[in-house]
């Protein structure tokens, strides 16, 4: 993102979900439902997924790829096109069973 415009609910391509066997979760729009908790400026986002119960326990990490001009995130007033790096966040489970990263 360019540091000016917010994510939209359809911007799921900014996130990649990986399973504990290192494979990437596939399924496109059938799995990646959308992005929520956007527009409040806190840079926390909810990635909404439609998963079979058998897959959910195997989610291991979320990666935000850095491809300049495609999937790079820039902070507010950041320099668009500046060098960046992929970020990988491990997923943890809460005591209630929901996912947390």
How far apart CA 64 and CA 27 sit, in angstroms, is: 17
How far apart CA 46 and CA 88 sit, in angstroms, is: 15
Say if CB 15 and CB 62 are below 8 A apart: yes
Closest CA to 61 of 30, 100, 95: 100
Q: What is the residue whose two structure tokens read 């320099």?
A: 79
Please report, rounded to a whole number, the percentage of residues in the chain having pLDDT higher than 70: 80
pLDDT tens-digit readout, 27-60: 777 888 888 887 776 777 888 888 888 888 899 9
Average pLDDT value for residue range 78-82: 73
């Amino acid at each position: 993102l360019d540091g000016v415009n917010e994510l939209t609910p359809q911007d799921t391509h900014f996130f990649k979900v990986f399973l504990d066997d290192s494979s990437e979760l596939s399924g496109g729009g059938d799995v990646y439902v959308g992005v929520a908790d956007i527009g409040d400026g806190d840079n926390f986002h909810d990635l909404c997924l439609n998963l079979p119960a058998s897959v959910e326990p195997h989610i291991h990490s979320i990666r935000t790829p850095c491809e300049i001009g495609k999937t790079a995130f820039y902070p507010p007033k950041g320099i668009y096109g500046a060098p960046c790096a992929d970020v990988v966040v491990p997923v943890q489970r809460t005591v209630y069973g929901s996912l947390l990263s």
